[in-house]
Amino acid sequence: MAISDLDLVQAWKDVLALCKLTSGEQVCLLASDDSNRQVIETARIAIGQMGGILTILTLPPLNGDVALSRDKSGFVGKTALKGNAPALAALKASDLVIDTMLLLFSPEQEAVLKGGARMLLAVEPPEILLRMKPTAEDGRRADIAAARLGRACTLRVTSKAGTDFRCAVGQYPVLRQKGFVDQRGGWDHWPSCLVATWPNEATAEGILVIDTGDILLPFKRYAREPIRLTVEAGFIRAIEGGFEAEFLRSYMDSFDDPDAYAMAHVGWGLHDRAHWTTLGLYDREATIGMDARSFIGNFLWSSGPNNEAGGSRDTPCHMDIPLRGCSLSLDGELVTVDGRVI
């Protein structure tokens, strides 16, 4: 359903206020060919009304010929900033960067953040942005979860479907997404609310069962039968089941990259306006699936790169797989029970 410009301008102003945008700050709006025009136009107005000094930076699209789908989150290779010194300089000179093209997992993004700019990713369509617009309460919930995860040494996940997974944590930083970014050098994503970290090297072990109805991203499909994955010493060593397992295995094999099978971020969803069902109601190209990634109580695990956490793996193959009905514990203390945050 269409969203009025007025509502989206107001939503931007609310989010930019949470981002502590102040008059006179340098704001860079990063766009590309597939950026949503209404998102950009309304952001321009909101930034202007709040006194931000606006630069709009349009970069060419990239990776379309090598990605295996049109999903922006499905291929995480080099970005349009690679080798583009003027664009990088503009971003580094900004106080706030709003990314409507999706620059995940790049050394260039790390350089921008290290320079002190704060970055907010916003690539979902207007109606999803509005429904899942962040609040201060989302920030509080994510902060509490991130602090608990930050103290943890071990993470274990079980489910009635057969998942029994464990890993040591603490080697890599905690990823906290709350939907807005209010700290120098911070990065966040509107709309999101989740926490995660990366397993310590070679410690992820056990069984992950993707049950019927669980979601595979970037496939943007609900599994129609269980898939059983065996994880040993940090890597997925077996993917078993029927057609769904064969499809997943074949997709990951197509990258011809052993790092595609590494376990990547693990954590849980905290967004109470995100829904497991949303993906089933949408055209698959109309969303990147933030409902699926962040619905409250999911166990979101992933495979592939860990370079944005400071690791060495930069494979472009990245699966995000939110499981329902899991119980997640940190050092033996439960934080979710059967898919409910406690």
106 lines the binding site for Fe ion (CB under 5 A): no
Q: Buried b / exposed e across 132-151, counting CB within 10 Å, b at 16+? A: bbbbeebbebbeebbeebee
Q: In whole angstroms, give the CA distance from residue 212 to residue 300.
A: 16
Q: How many residues does the chain have?
A: 342
Q: Which is nearer to Fe ion, 124 or 320 (CB)?
A: 320
Give me the least distance between CB of 17 and Fe ion, in Å please.
Answer: 28
Q: Which of 109, 302, 303, 315 binds Fe ion (CB under 5 A)?
A: 302
36 lines the binding site for Fe ion (CB under 5 A): no
Token representation of residue 181: 């970014």
Q: Which of 218, 268, 320, 339 binds Fe ion (CB under 5 A)?
A: 320
Give me the least distance between CB of 4 and Fe ion, in Å please.
Answer: 32
Q: Which is nearer to Fe ion, 139 or 304 (CB)?
A: 304
278 lines the binding site for Fe ion (CB under 5 A): no
Q: How many residues bind Fe ion (CB under 5 A)?
A: 2
298 lines the binding site for Fe ion (CB under 5 A): no
Q: Which is nearer to Fe ion, 12 or 301 (CB)?
A: 301
Using DSSP, state whether 151 is helix, strand or coil: helix
**Angle, alpha carbons 177-54-2 (nearest 5°):** 65
Give me the least distance between CB of 252 and Fe ion, in Å please.
Answer: 14
Contacts of 289 (CB under 8 A, 6+ apart): 73, 215, 217, 218, 220, 279, 320
315 lines the binding site for Fe ion (CB under 5 A): no
Residue 71 CA: distances (Å) to CA of 181, 217, 260: 24, 9, 18
138 lines the binding site for Fe ion (CB under 5 A): no
307 lines the binding site for Fe ion (CB under 5 A): no
287 lines the binding site for Fe ion (CB under 5 A): no
Using a 10 angstrom Cβ sphere, with 0-12 exposed, 13-18 middle and 19 or more buried, the burial of residue 263 is buried
Q: Which is nearer to Fe ion, 244 or 320 (CB)?
A: 320
Residues that bind Fe ion (CB under 5 A): 302, 320
